Amino acid sequence: MKEKLNFQSNLLIGSLLFGLFFGAGNLIFPVQMGQLAGNNTLQATIGFLITGVGLPLLGVVASALSQSESLFAMAKPVSRIYSILFTCMLYLTIGPLFAIPRTATVAFEVGLNPFIRKEYLQLGLFLFSLIFFVVTLYFSLRPGRILDWIGKYLTPVFLVLLSVLMIAVYVKPMGQVSQFAAQGNYIDKPLFAGILDGYNTMDALASLAFAIIIISNIERLGIKNPNRKAVEIFKSGLVCVVGMSVIYASLAYMGVTSLGSVGRGDNGGIIMSMVSEHYFGFIGKVLLAAIVTVACLKTAIGLITSCAQMFSEMFPNSASYNSYAIMFTVFSFAIANFGLNKIIQLSLPVLMFLYPLAITLIILSLLAPVINKQRDIYGWTTGLTIIAAFFDLCNALPTAIKETMTMSKIISFAHLYLPGFDYGFGWLMPALGGFILGTIIWRIRLWRACAKN
Protein backbone atom coordinates (compact mmCIF):
# COMPACT_ATOMS: atom_id res chain seq x y z
CA MET A 1 0.00 0.00 0.00
CA LYS A 2 1.39 3.38 -1.03
CA GLU A 3 1.73 6.28 1.42
CA LYS A 4 1.69 8.99 -1.24
CA LEU A 5 1.50 9.54 -4.98
CA ASN A 6 4.38 10.71 -7.12
CA PHE A 7 4.25 14.03 -8.93
CA GLN A 8 3.17 12.49 -12.24
CA SER A 9 0.21 10.72 -10.59
CA ASN A 10 -0.82 13.92 -8.78
CA LEU A 11 -0.69 15.75 -12.09
CA LEU A 12 -2.82 13.10 -13.78
CA ILE A 13 -5.47 13.13 -11.04
CA GLY A 14 -5.44 16.94 -11.08
CA SER A 15 -5.97 16.86 -14.83
CA LEU A 16 -8.89 14.47 -14.34
CA LEU A 17 -10.45 16.81 -11.77
CA PHE A 18 -10.03 19.75 -14.12
CA GLY A 19 -11.40 17.84 -17.07
CA LEU A 20 -14.49 16.72 -15.19
CA PHE A 21 -15.32 20.08 -13.59
CA PHE A 22 -14.63 22.56 -16.36
CA GLY A 23 -17.47 22.40 -18.84
CA ALA A 24 -20.47 24.15 -20.31
CA GLY A 25 -21.58 26.49 -17.55
CA ASN A 26 -17.99 27.29 -16.70
CA LEU A 27 -17.47 28.86 -20.10
CA ILE A 28 -20.47 31.13 -20.36
CA PHE A 29 -21.11 32.41 -16.83
CA PRO A 30 -17.77 34.13 -16.01
CA VAL A 31 -17.94 36.01 -19.30
CA GLN A 32 -21.44 37.29 -18.57
CA MET A 33 -20.37 38.13 -15.01
CA GLY A 34 -17.48 40.23 -16.32
CA GLN A 35 -19.78 42.37 -18.45
CA LEU A 36 -22.16 42.98 -15.55
CA ALA A 37 -19.48 43.52 -12.88
CA GLY A 38 -17.54 46.12 -14.89
CA ASN A 39 -14.93 47.84 -12.74
CA ASN A 40 -15.87 45.52 -9.84
CA THR A 41 -14.86 42.42 -11.79
CA LEU A 42 -12.00 41.57 -9.41
CA GLN A 43 -14.27 41.30 -6.36
CA ALA A 44 -16.90 39.39 -8.34
CA THR A 45 -14.27 36.97 -9.65
CA ILE A 46 -13.01 36.27 -6.13
CA GLY A 47 -16.57 35.41 -5.11
CA PHE A 48 -16.99 33.23 -8.18
CA LEU A 49 -13.80 31.33 -7.34
CA ILE A 50 -15.08 30.54 -3.84
CA THR A 51 -18.06 28.56 -5.10
CA GLY A 52 -16.71 27.67 -8.54
CA VAL A 53 -13.29 26.37 -7.46
CA GLY A 54 -12.98 26.13 -3.67
CA LEU A 55 -16.22 24.29 -2.94
CA PRO A 56 -15.80 21.60 -5.62
CA LEU A 57 -12.35 20.69 -4.28
CA LEU A 58 -13.64 20.62 -0.70
CA GLY A 59 -16.50 18.40 -1.83
CA VAL A 60 -14.17 15.70 -3.14
CA VAL A 61 -11.87 15.99 -0.10
CA ALA A 62 -14.88 15.74 2.23
CA SER A 63 -16.05 12.55 0.51
CA ALA A 64 -12.67 10.93 1.07
CA LEU A 65 -12.28 12.21 4.64
CA SER A 66 -15.71 10.98 5.70
CA GLN A 67 -14.86 7.53 4.26
CA SER A 68 -18.08 7.63 2.25
CA GLU A 69 -18.28 5.39 -0.77
CA SER A 70 -21.03 7.50 -2.29
CA LEU A 71 -23.18 10.58 -1.81
CA PHE A 72 -25.87 8.31 -0.37
CA ALA A 73 -23.48 7.13 2.36
CA MET A 74 -22.24 10.67 2.89
CA ALA A 75 -25.75 12.00 3.63
CA LYS A 76 -26.95 8.94 5.57
CA PRO A 77 -26.09 10.34 9.06
CA VAL A 78 -28.99 12.79 8.57
CA SER A 79 -31.45 9.95 7.95
CA ARG A 80 -31.90 7.19 5.42
CA ILE A 81 -34.97 8.82 3.86
CA TYR A 82 -33.21 12.18 3.53
CA SER A 83 -30.18 10.47 2.03
CA ILE A 84 -32.28 8.83 -0.67
CA LEU A 85 -34.22 12.02 -1.49
CA PHE A 86 -31.20 14.33 -1.47
CA THR A 87 -29.11 11.95 -3.55
CA CYS A 88 -31.84 11.58 -6.16
CA MET A 89 -32.49 15.35 -6.28
CA LEU A 90 -28.81 16.20 -6.64
CA TYR A 91 -28.04 13.60 -9.27
CA LEU A 92 -31.12 14.45 -11.31
CA THR A 93 -30.18 18.15 -11.15
CA ILE A 94 -26.59 17.63 -12.30
CA GLY A 95 -27.85 14.91 -14.58
CA PRO A 96 -30.76 14.57 -17.00
CA LEU A 97 -32.88 17.48 -15.72
CA PHE A 98 -30.49 20.40 -16.15
CA ALA A 99 -26.71 19.98 -16.36
CA ILE A 100 -26.44 17.23 -18.98
CA PRO A 101 -28.98 18.79 -21.39
CA ARG A 102 -27.25 22.14 -20.86
CA THR A 103 -23.95 20.74 -22.13
CA ALA A 104 -25.50 19.99 -25.51
CA THR A 105 -27.46 23.24 -25.77
CA VAL A 106 -24.48 25.41 -24.84
CA ALA A 107 -22.29 23.59 -27.36
CA PHE A 108 -24.93 24.19 -30.01
CA GLU A 109 -25.80 27.80 -29.13
CA VAL A 110 -22.20 28.96 -28.86
CA GLY A 111 -20.54 26.69 -31.36
CA LEU A 112 -22.97 26.07 -34.22
CA ASN A 113 -25.74 28.66 -33.90
CA PRO A 114 -23.71 31.32 -35.81
CA PHE A 115 -23.49 28.99 -38.83
CA ILE A 116 -27.20 28.12 -39.10
CA ARG A 117 -30.05 30.19 -40.54
CA LYS A 118 -32.74 31.12 -38.00
CA GLU A 119 -35.50 29.01 -39.57
CA TYR A 120 -33.37 25.87 -39.27
CA LEU A 121 -32.20 26.37 -35.67
CA GLN A 122 -34.62 23.86 -34.10
CA LEU A 123 -33.75 21.19 -36.66
CA GLY A 124 -30.08 21.97 -36.20
CA LEU A 125 -30.38 21.60 -32.42
CA PHE A 126 -32.14 18.26 -32.85
CA LEU A 127 -29.49 16.82 -35.18
CA PHE A 128 -26.56 18.23 -33.20
CA SER A 129 -27.85 17.00 -29.84
CA LEU A 130 -28.53 13.57 -31.35
CA ILE A 131 -24.91 13.21 -32.51
CA PHE A 132 -23.62 14.78 -29.27
CA PHE A 133 -25.42 12.28 -27.04
CA VAL A 134 -24.55 9.28 -29.20
CA VAL A 135 -20.86 10.13 -28.70
CA THR A 136 -21.43 10.79 -24.99
CA LEU A 137 -23.15 7.44 -24.51
CA TYR A 138 -20.37 5.60 -26.35
CA PHE A 139 -17.74 6.85 -23.89
CA SER A 140 -20.03 6.58 -20.85
CA LEU A 141 -20.52 2.85 -21.44
CA ARG A 142 -16.77 2.43 -21.00
CA PRO A 143 -16.15 4.12 -17.59
CA GLY A 144 -13.01 2.10 -16.84
CA ARG A 145 -11.02 4.19 -19.32
CA ILE A 146 -12.40 7.61 -18.36
CA LEU A 147 -9.09 8.56 -16.71
CA ASP A 148 -7.23 8.03 -19.99
CA TRP A 149 -9.82 9.66 -22.25
CA ILE A 150 -10.40 12.79 -20.19
CA GLY A 151 -7.09 13.22 -18.40
CA LYS A 152 -4.76 12.44 -21.31
CA TYR A 153 -6.63 13.52 -24.41
CA LEU A 154 -9.66 15.80 -24.06
CA THR A 155 -8.25 18.14 -21.41
CA PRO A 156 -5.00 19.02 -23.28
CA VAL A 157 -6.94 19.59 -26.52
CA PHE A 158 -9.36 21.87 -24.71
CA LEU A 159 -6.57 23.87 -23.04
CA VAL A 160 -4.76 24.46 -26.33
CA LEU A 161 -7.92 25.66 -28.08
CA LEU A 162 -8.93 27.97 -25.24
CA SER A 163 -5.40 29.34 -24.86
CA VAL A 164 -5.37 30.59 -28.45
CA LEU A 165 -8.41 32.76 -27.80
CA MET A 166 -7.24 33.97 -24.37
CA ILE A 167 -3.79 34.96 -25.66
CA ALA A 168 -5.47 37.19 -28.22
CA VAL A 169 -7.59 38.79 -25.47
CA TYR A 170 -4.50 39.68 -23.42
CA VAL A 171 -2.18 40.65 -26.28
CA LYS A 172 -4.70 43.00 -27.87
CA PRO A 173 -7.26 44.06 -25.20
CA MET A 174 -10.64 45.25 -26.39
CA GLY A 175 -10.84 47.80 -23.56
CA GLN A 176 -9.81 48.63 -19.98
CA VAL A 177 -11.57 47.22 -16.91
CA SER A 178 -11.74 50.64 -15.23
CA GLN A 179 -13.70 52.08 -18.17
CA PHE A 180 -16.97 50.29 -17.47
CA ALA A 181 -19.37 50.75 -14.56
CA ALA A 182 -20.89 47.83 -12.68
CA GLN A 183 -24.59 47.01 -12.97
CA GLY A 184 -27.26 45.63 -10.64
CA ASN A 185 -26.06 43.71 -7.60
CA TYR A 186 -22.46 44.13 -8.75
CA ILE A 187 -22.54 47.82 -7.80
CA ASP A 188 -22.72 47.47 -4.01
CA LYS A 189 -22.19 43.74 -3.35
CA PRO A 190 -19.99 42.32 -6.13
CA LEU A 191 -18.37 39.65 -3.91
CA PHE A 192 -21.71 38.10 -2.92
CA ALA A 193 -23.07 38.41 -6.46
CA GLY A 194 -19.99 36.53 -7.69
CA ILE A 195 -20.49 33.80 -5.09
CA LEU A 196 -24.06 33.26 -6.27
CA ASP A 197 -22.92 33.29 -9.91
CA GLY A 198 -20.66 30.37 -9.03
CA TYR A 199 -23.78 28.34 -8.22
CA ASN A 200 -24.62 28.27 -11.92
CA THR A 201 -21.63 26.07 -12.69
CA MET A 202 -23.16 23.35 -10.44
CA ASP A 203 -19.59 22.26 -9.66
CA ALA A 204 -20.04 21.98 -5.90
CA LEU A 205 -22.98 19.65 -6.57
CA ALA A 206 -21.05 17.78 -9.22
CA SER A 207 -18.07 17.34 -6.88
CA LEU A 208 -20.19 15.07 -4.68
CA ALA A 209 -20.90 12.97 -7.76
CA PHE A 210 -17.40 13.07 -9.27
CA ALA A 211 -15.91 12.05 -5.92
CA ILE A 212 -16.77 8.45 -6.84
CA ILE A 213 -14.55 8.60 -9.92
CA ILE A 214 -11.67 10.48 -8.25
CA ILE A 215 -11.52 8.31 -5.12
CA SER A 216 -11.68 5.07 -7.13
CA ASN A 217 -8.78 6.22 -9.31
CA ILE A 218 -6.77 7.23 -6.22
CA GLU A 219 -7.36 3.73 -4.82
CA ARG A 220 -6.28 2.12 -8.09
CA LEU A 221 -2.99 3.99 -7.72
CA GLY A 222 -2.43 2.30 -4.35
CA ILE A 223 -3.71 4.79 -1.75
CA LYS A 224 -6.12 3.09 0.69
CA ASN A 225 -5.98 5.08 3.96
CA PRO A 226 -8.88 7.63 4.12
CA ASN A 227 -6.72 10.43 5.52
CA ARG A 228 -4.03 9.84 2.90
CA LYS A 229 -6.66 9.79 0.16
CA ALA A 230 -7.93 13.18 1.34
CA VAL A 231 -4.38 14.57 1.40
CA GLU A 232 -3.56 13.27 -2.08
CA ILE A 233 -6.85 14.57 -3.49
CA PHE A 234 -6.11 17.99 -2.01
CA LYS A 235 -2.57 17.98 -3.44
CA SER A 236 -3.80 16.87 -6.84
CA GLY A 237 -6.62 19.38 -6.62
CA LEU A 238 -4.15 22.26 -6.45
CA VAL A 239 -3.42 21.60 -10.12
CA CYS A 240 -7.14 21.91 -10.82
CA VAL A 241 -7.50 25.01 -8.62
CA VAL A 242 -4.69 26.89 -10.34
CA GLY A 243 -5.90 25.97 -13.81
CA MET A 244 -9.55 26.79 -13.19
CA SER A 245 -8.75 30.04 -11.36
CA VAL A 246 -6.61 31.32 -14.22
CA ILE A 247 -9.25 30.44 -16.80
CA TYR A 248 -12.16 31.87 -14.79
CA ALA A 249 -10.30 35.13 -14.22
CA SER A 250 -9.39 35.28 -17.92
CA LEU A 251 -12.97 34.66 -19.00
CA ALA A 252 -14.22 37.39 -16.66
CA TYR A 253 -11.55 39.72 -18.06
CA MET A 254 -12.70 38.83 -21.57
CA GLY A 255 -16.25 39.73 -20.61
CA VAL A 256 -15.55 43.15 -19.13
CA THR A 257 -13.05 44.25 -21.80
CA SER A 258 -15.37 43.08 -24.59
CA LEU A 259 -17.60 46.04 -23.75
CA GLY A 260 -15.05 48.25 -25.47
CA SER A 261 -15.41 46.57 -28.87
CA VAL A 262 -18.34 44.20 -29.32
CA GLY A 263 -20.90 45.62 -26.86
CA ARG A 264 -23.21 43.74 -24.54
CA GLY A 265 -24.63 40.28 -25.16
CA ASP A 266 -27.68 38.52 -23.74
CA ASN A 267 -25.56 35.68 -22.36
CA GLY A 268 -21.97 34.53 -22.10
CA GLY A 269 -22.26 32.32 -25.15
CA ILE A 270 -23.24 35.18 -27.42
CA ILE A 271 -20.46 37.33 -25.96
CA MET A 272 -17.84 34.64 -26.61
CA SER A 273 -19.05 34.23 -30.16
CA MET A 274 -18.75 37.98 -30.78
CA VAL A 275 -15.27 38.08 -29.22
CA SER A 276 -14.05 35.18 -31.36
CA GLU A 277 -15.36 36.82 -34.51
CA HIS A 278 -13.79 40.13 -33.45
CA TYR A 279 -10.32 38.60 -33.24
CA PHE A 280 -10.38 35.86 -35.87
CA GLY A 281 -13.41 36.39 -38.10
CA PHE A 282 -14.85 33.18 -39.55
CA ILE A 283 -11.89 31.18 -38.22
CA GLY A 284 -12.76 32.53 -34.77
CA LYS A 285 -16.22 31.02 -34.96
CA VAL A 286 -14.76 27.63 -35.90
CA LEU A 287 -12.26 27.87 -33.04
CA LEU A 288 -15.01 28.69 -30.55
CA ALA A 289 -17.15 25.81 -31.81
CA ALA A 290 -14.26 23.41 -31.18
CA ILE A 291 -13.56 24.83 -27.69
CA VAL A 292 -17.15 24.63 -26.53
CA THR A 293 -17.86 21.20 -28.01
CA VAL A 294 -14.81 19.66 -26.32
CA ALA A 295 -15.60 21.33 -22.98
CA CYS A 296 -19.23 20.23 -23.04
CA LEU A 297 -18.52 16.71 -24.25
CA LYS A 298 -16.11 15.87 -21.46
CA THR A 299 -18.50 17.27 -18.84
CA ALA A 300 -21.39 15.22 -20.24
CA ILE A 301 -19.32 12.02 -20.16
CA GLY A 302 -18.42 12.55 -16.51
CA LEU A 303 -22.01 13.35 -15.51
CA ILE A 304 -23.58 10.38 -17.29
CA THR A 305 -20.95 8.07 -15.77
CA SER A 306 -21.46 9.32 -12.20
CA CYS A 307 -25.25 9.40 -12.38
CA ALA A 308 -25.57 5.92 -13.85
CA GLN A 309 -23.09 4.50 -11.36
CA MET A 310 -24.88 6.04 -8.37
CA PHE A 311 -28.40 4.92 -9.35
CA SER A 312 -27.28 1.40 -10.25
CA GLU A 313 -25.62 1.07 -6.82
CA MET A 314 -28.41 2.74 -4.84
CA PHE A 315 -31.16 0.70 -6.54
CA PRO A 316 -29.33 -2.55 -7.47
CA ASN A 317 -32.53 -4.47 -8.26
CA SER A 318 -33.93 -1.85 -10.62
CA ALA A 319 -31.57 -1.66 -13.59
CA SER A 320 -27.93 -2.11 -14.59
CA TYR A 321 -25.32 0.63 -15.04
CA ASN A 322 -25.64 0.41 -18.82
CA SER A 323 -29.45 0.69 -18.65
CA TYR A 324 -29.28 3.81 -16.48
CA ALA A 325 -26.65 5.34 -18.76
CA ILE A 326 -28.90 4.79 -21.77
CA MET A 327 -32.02 6.12 -19.98
CA PHE A 328 -30.27 9.26 -18.73
CA THR A 329 -28.78 9.92 -22.16
CA VAL A 330 -32.13 9.59 -23.95
CA PHE A 331 -33.90 11.80 -21.37
CA SER A 332 -31.14 14.42 -21.57
CA PHE A 333 -31.48 14.44 -25.35
CA ALA A 334 -35.21 15.16 -25.03
CA ILE A 335 -34.75 17.98 -22.48
CA ALA A 336 -31.92 19.55 -24.49
CA ASN A 337 -34.31 20.26 -27.34
CA PHE A 338 -36.23 22.76 -25.18
CA GLY A 339 -33.26 25.12 -25.57
CA LEU A 340 -30.61 26.76 -23.41
CA ASN A 341 -32.59 29.73 -22.08
CA LYS A 342 -35.43 27.59 -20.74
CA ILE A 343 -33.02 25.17 -19.05
CA ILE A 344 -31.14 27.99 -17.28
CA GLN A 345 -34.39 29.66 -16.20
CA LEU A 346 -35.80 26.50 -14.64
CA SER A 347 -32.58 25.47 -12.92
CA LEU A 348 -32.05 28.61 -10.80
CA PRO A 349 -34.69 27.97 -8.07
CA VAL A 350 -33.52 24.37 -7.73
CA LEU A 351 -29.89 25.46 -7.36
CA MET A 352 -30.78 28.03 -4.70
CA PHE A 353 -32.41 25.21 -2.71
CA LEU A 354 -29.82 22.48 -3.22
CA TYR A 355 -26.63 24.51 -2.81
CA PRO A 356 -27.13 25.32 0.91
CA LEU A 357 -27.80 21.63 1.58
CA ALA A 358 -24.70 20.59 -0.37
CA ILE A 359 -22.50 23.18 1.37
CA THR A 360 -23.62 22.13 4.86
CA LEU A 361 -23.09 18.46 3.98
CA ILE A 362 -19.57 19.22 2.74
CA ILE A 363 -18.72 21.10 5.95
CA LEU A 364 -20.19 18.38 8.18
CA SER A 365 -18.26 15.71 6.26
CA LEU A 366 -15.02 17.66 6.65
CA LEU A 367 -15.72 17.68 10.40
CA ALA A 368 -16.66 13.97 10.44
CA PRO A 369 -13.44 12.87 12.25
CA VAL A 370 -14.24 15.39 15.02
CA ILE A 371 -18.03 15.10 15.38
CA ASN A 372 -18.03 11.37 14.58
CA LYS A 373 -21.01 11.67 12.19
CA GLN A 374 -23.38 12.35 15.08
CA ARG A 375 -26.99 12.19 13.89
CA ASP A 376 -28.10 15.01 16.21
CA ILE A 377 -25.64 17.43 14.62
CA TYR A 378 -26.33 16.31 11.05
CA GLY A 379 -30.10 16.28 11.60
CA TRP A 380 -30.52 19.68 13.24
CA THR A 381 -28.08 21.43 10.89
CA THR A 382 -29.72 19.99 7.80
CA GLY A 383 -33.29 20.40 9.06
CA LEU A 384 -32.99 24.13 9.73
CA THR A 385 -31.05 24.61 6.49
CA ILE A 386 -33.88 22.99 4.51
CA ILE A 387 -36.39 25.45 5.94
CA ALA A 388 -34.22 28.47 5.14
CA ALA A 389 -33.27 27.15 1.69
CA PHE A 390 -36.96 26.89 0.82
CA PHE A 391 -37.20 30.69 1.11
CA ASP A 392 -34.22 31.04 -1.26
CA LEU A 393 -36.03 28.77 -3.73
CA CYS A 394 -39.14 30.97 -3.53
CA ASN A 395 -37.10 34.12 -4.09
CA ALA A 396 -35.54 32.64 -7.25
CA LEU A 397 -38.86 31.75 -8.89
CA PRO A 398 -40.01 33.61 -12.03
CA THR A 399 -41.39 37.10 -11.36
CA ALA A 400 -44.97 36.13 -12.25
CA ILE A 401 -44.98 33.51 -9.49
CA LYS A 402 -43.12 35.66 -6.95
CA GLU A 403 -45.69 38.43 -7.29
CA THR A 404 -48.64 36.25 -6.24
CA MET A 405 -50.08 37.13 -2.83
CA THR A 406 -48.98 33.95 -1.05
CA MET A 407 -45.46 33.99 -2.45
CA SER A 408 -45.04 37.71 -1.72
CA LYS A 409 -45.90 37.11 1.94
CA ILE A 410 -43.43 34.23 2.17
CA ILE A 411 -40.61 36.30 0.65
CA SER A 412 -41.43 39.34 2.80
CA PHE A 413 -41.24 37.15 5.91
CA ALA A 414 -37.79 35.93 4.86
CA HIS A 415 -36.58 39.49 4.25
CA LEU A 416 -37.63 40.45 7.78
CA TYR A 417 -36.44 37.46 9.79
CA LEU A 418 -33.55 35.82 7.91
CA PRO A 419 -30.25 37.75 8.20
CA GLY A 420 -28.39 37.76 4.91
CA PHE A 421 -31.45 36.82 2.84
CA ASP A 422 -31.03 39.92 0.66
CA TYR A 423 -27.57 38.63 -0.29
CA GLY A 424 -28.78 35.08 -1.00
CA PHE A 425 -27.42 33.66 2.26
CA GLY A 426 -30.44 33.53 4.52
CA TRP A 427 -29.62 29.90 5.28
CA LEU A 428 -26.30 30.62 7.02
CA MET A 429 -27.62 31.59 10.47
CA PRO A 430 -30.19 28.76 10.63
CA ALA A 431 -27.47 26.28 9.62
CA LEU A 432 -25.12 27.59 12.29
CA GLY A 433 -27.92 27.55 14.85
CA GLY A 434 -28.76 23.97 13.93
CA PHE A 435 -25.12 22.95 14.28
CA ILE A 436 -24.86 24.54 17.74
CA LEU A 437 -28.18 23.07 18.89
CA GLY A 438 -27.29 19.63 17.57
CA THR A 439 -23.91 19.76 19.30
CA ILE A 440 -25.54 20.70 22.62
CA ILE A 441 -28.06 17.85 22.34
CA TRP A 442 -25.26 15.41 21.47
CA ARG A 443 -23.22 16.54 24.48
CA ILE A 444 -26.24 16.19 26.78
CA ARG A 445 -26.86 12.66 25.51
CA LEU A 446 -23.17 11.86 25.99
CA TRP A 447 -23.20 13.28 29.53
CA ARG A 448 -26.30 11.26 30.46
CA ALA A 449 -24.77 8.07 29.07
CA CYS A 450 -21.61 8.64 31.11
CA ALA A 451 -23.67 9.42 34.24
CA LYS A 452 -25.53 6.10 33.94
CA ASN A 453 -22.25 4.22 33.79
pLDDT in tens, 165-199: 899 999 999 999 988 999 989 999 999 999 999 99
- The model's pLDDT over 90-126, given as tens digits with 9 standing for 90+, comes to 999 989 999 999 999 988 888 788 788 888 989 999 9
At residue 152, the pLDDT reads: 66
From 310, 337, 364, give the residue that closes a domain.
Answer: 337
Whole-number Å distance between alpha carbons of 190 and 36: 10
At residue 45, the pLDDT reads: 97
Specify if 41 maps to a domain. Answer: yes
Q: Is pLDDT above 60 for 385?
A: yes
Shared-domain flag, residues 217 and 161 = yes
Shared-domain flag, residues 307 and 345 = no
If you average pLDDT over residues 348-353, what whole number do you get? 94
Shared-domain flag, residues 331 and 349 = no
Of the ranges 54-68, 99-113, 207-221, 351-365, which one carries the lowest mean pLDDT score? 207-221
Shared-domain flag, residues 314 and 370 = no
CATH code of residue 114: 1.10.4160.10
From 308, 337, 366, give the residue that closes a domain.
Answer: 337
Q: How many domains does the chain have?
A: 2
Shared-domain flag, residues 407 and 271 = no
Query: Is the alpha carbon torsion for 330, 334, 336, 342 positive or negative?
Result: negative
Specify if 1 maps to a domain. Answer: no
Shared-domain flag, residues 330 and 348 = no
Specify if 407 maps to a domain. Answer: yes
Shared-domain flag, residues 74 and 135 = yes
What predicted TM-score, i.e. pTM, was given to this entire model? 0.88
If you average pLDDT over residues 231-256, what whole number do you get? 90
Shared-domain flag, residues 20 and 99 = yes
From 273, 304, 337, give the residue that closes a domain.
Answer: 337
Shared-domain flag, residues 284 and 362 = no
- The model's pLDDT over 134-161, given as tens digits with 9 standing for 90+, comes to 999 998 887 666 656 665 676 677 778 7
Specify if 232 maps to a domain. Answer: yes
Shared-domain flag, residues 419 and 318 = no
If you average pLDDT over residues 314-320, what whole number do you get? 88
Range of the domain at 260: 7-337
If you average pLDDT over residues 339-367, what whole number do you get? 92
Q: Is pLDDT above 90 for 369?
A: no
Shared-domain flag, residues 228 and 354 = no
Specify if 2 maps to a domain. Answer: no
Percent of the chain scoring above 70 in pLDDT: 95
Among 335, 359, 398, CA closest to 133: 335
Shared-domain flag, residues 227 and 312 = yes
